[in-house]
Structure 1
Amino acid sequence: MNIEVANFLREHKSQLLQDWMTAMKKLGDERSLNIISNDLFENTSHEFIEAAVSNIVDSEKEYQQRVERITERAVKIGWPLNFLLTGLSELKTMILNLMRQEKNYTSEETVELITEIDKWVAPMSTQIVESYSNNWEKTVSLQKVALQELSAPLIPVFEKISVMPLVGTIDTERARLIMENLLSGVVKHRSEVVLIDITGVPVVDTMVAHHIIQAADAVRLVGSKCMLVGIRPEIAQTIVNLGIDLNQITTTSTLQKGIGEALALTNRKIVNLKEEA
């Protein structure tokens, strides 16, 4: 890198930080800035400038680690990739303008200066895109795993009675997860009756019904009984129109009614206690 540019970056790092934060507050959209506190914005901005300057003072490994940290932070706080690339472009413009303010460059020297700054910025831009993409993929993968773990829980509500509330659409991958959680949960909680609550499932088509029937059959194979609860009128009409046979599964319109029937199957019931006089 041009020694003149390198020395300028070292000497004007603090000024560049302040100018960069001011510029990004004007250029950034409200979503990118309002989601974090002023302190976090300042700390992240400082890391960004440090990562930029480290390109001339640190080893390649240390520089890559700095860029990795700033992109990881950006993904966590919700800064889009475009915000970082815009920030890098703005930093390049600032450096050029500040250097031209301090020294009168000829046309040839200005072209050379722009070339040197571009040579410095281009590798960082590439590194930011690559690092941001990797961090984004990691975050999405972790979120997907967390969502899968929460998407089909089997909850014991009474002794021998468990409920699996389902929310959202059910595809083949999720149906597999439902089956696994259902069977392992039945054995773990020693459930004699399992209620699958589809109140939160927006659409029950042939495929969804097929998966539910498979789950009920699997539950019976491990010695338990499966009930389907939360069947809304529109869902009941769809099931009838599609000709889906649910005769082997006990169904109720609400979870409350299902709990009552489940208690009856286990020789129990809910009674009201009269207040003592």
Structure 2
Amino acid sequence: MQSSVIEMIYTHRFEVIEQWKNEMITIQENEFTKSSPQRVLTHINQEFADLIIGTLEMDEEEGRQHLRSFSERLIHSGWPLSYFTKGLQQFRRVLLSLMTTDNTIPSSKVFETFQETENWIDSIVNQMVDEYTGSWEHTLEIQKLALQELSAPLIPVFEHISVMPLIGTIDTERAKLIMENLLEGIIEHRSQVVLIDITGVPVVDTMVAHHIIQAAEAVRLVGAECILVGIRPEIAQTIVNLGIDLGKFPTKSTLRKGIESGLERTNRQIVNL
């Protein structure tokens, strides 16, 4: 950036910051920051303004590091990205307004100065958007992995009898996870009978049925038996209409009936005392 622009910004530093803070009041009234303590807003705005102007003295990499550190702290504190993108737009307007009234910039250089200021502010906006996007993608990926780990547990309910309750939509990625958890759980719990409960699966189409059949076949190959439970009337009708063959392994309408069947297959039964 031209030295004359940097000099102008530093010469009018306090004027720029104060005018920008006044503009930020309109943003605070429309964001979650309305409920934040005023001292917190004042501190963040001052720090943000100092950071923006401070990047003029830093090389590109140093400036990016400072912005990254500032963004990460705000992301973890719950500050919305829109507050800072709107704040940068306001900062841009304040600077451009100052340039049109400042006599230190030659008229022949005004357009070039405007363009440099646009590029400078845009680079800060782009980095903050990238930092926020990267942080949320990372957070979502962690949450996705955590949900996947919890979405297909194999639960031992009796000796040699385990249940895998399935809830939600089953796609190819999740079917792979189900298969892995199922086979590892059978070995770990020494299960002889596995109940796959699809009560919480909203739709059973050809693809879902194919994944279930594959899981049941894998269970058989490791020496256990699979019983499909939780088949609701509408699911049964869909399976029949699609012509899906589930005759290779037993099915039960409820988990209770499935457990009773599992006990019979392991030479046990429930009796009343």
Bin the TM-score by the shorter chain: 0.7 to 0.9
Output one character per residue of 1:198-245: Cα deviation in whole Å (capped at 9) or x when no partner.
Answer: 111111111111110110110111111111111110001111222222
Q: 1: distance between equivalents of 2:71 and 2:46?
A: 13
Residue equivalent to 2:211: 211
Question: Are the aligned partners of 2:8 and 2:104 in contact in 1 as well (CA < 8 Å)?
Answer: no
Matched, 1:79 2:69: no
Question: Are the aligned partners of 1:166 and 1:199 in contact in 2 as well (CA < 8 Å)?
Answer: yes
Residue equivalent to 1:246: 246
Question: Are the aligned partners of 1:183 and 1:219 in contact in 2 as well (CA < 8 Å)?
Answer: yes
Residue equivalent to 1:190: 190
Residue equivalent to 2:12: 8
Within a 5 Å distance, the mapping from 1:73-222 to structure 2 comes to 73=73, 77=78, 79-80=80-81, 82-96=82-96, 99=98, 108=107, 111=110, 114=114, 117-222=117-222
Deviation at 1:180, TM superposition (A): 1.0
Deviation at 1:259, TM superposition (A): 2.3
Q: 2: distance between equivalents of 1:14 and 1:142?
A: 39
Q: For residues 110 and 205 of structure 1, do their structure 2 counterparts lie closer, same or farther at Cα, with a shift above 3 Å needed?
A: same
Matched, 1:25 2:28: yes
Deviation at 1:17, TM superposition (A): 7.3
Deviation at 1:181, TM superposition (A): 1.2
Letter in 2 for 1:26: E
Q: 2: distance between equivalents of 1:111 and 1:272?
A: 93
Q: 1: distance between equivalents of 2:259 and 2:44?
A: 52
Within a 5 Å distance, the mapping from 1:52-67 to structure 2 comes to 52-67=52-67
Deviation at 1:105, TM superposition (A): 8.3
* Secondary structure at the counterpart of residue 231 of structure 1: coil
Residue equivalent to 1:223: 223
Q: 2: distance between equivalents of 1:156 and 1:17?
A: 62
The farther-off stretch of 70-79 and 176-185 is 70-79
Q: For residues 153 and 130 of structure 1, do their structure 2 counterparts lie closer, same or farther at Cα, with a shift above 3 Å needed?
A: same
Deviation at 1:21, TM superposition (A): 4.5
**Cα RMSD (Å):** 3.5
TM-score (structure 1 length as normaliser): 0.78
Q: 2: distance between equivalents of 1:44 and 1:158?
A: 57
Q: 1: distance between equivalents of 2:52 and 2:143?
A: 30
Q: How many residues align?
A: 265
Letter in 2 for 1:196: I
Residue equivalent to 2:36: 38
Question: Are the aligned partners of 2:88 and 2:125 in contact in 1 as well (CA < 8 Å)?
Answer: yes
Q: For residues 49 and 214 of structure 1, do their structure 2 counterparts lie closer, same or farther at Cα, with a shift above 3 Å needed?
A: same
Q: For residues 236 and 190 of structure 1, do their structure 2 counterparts lie closer, same or farther at Cα, with a shift above 3 Å needed?
A: same
* Secondary structure at the counterpart of residue 228 of structure 2: strand
Q: For residues 21 and 194 of structure 1, do their structure 2 counterparts lie closer, same or farther at Cα, with a shift above 3 Å needed?
A: farther
Question: Are the aligned partners of 2:229 and 2:251 in contact in 1 as well (CA < 8 Å)?
Answer: yes
Q: 1: distance between equivalents of 2:271 and 2:35?
A: 53
Deviation at 1:196, TM superposition (A): 1.1
Q: For residues 96 and 199 of structure 1, do their structure 2 counterparts lie closer, same or farther at Cα, with a shift above 3 Å needed?
A: same
Q: For residues 259 and 15 of structure 1, do their structure 2 counterparts lie closer, same or farther at Cα, with a shift above 3 Å needed?
A: farther
Q: 2: distance between equivalents of 1:47 and 1:73?
A: 12
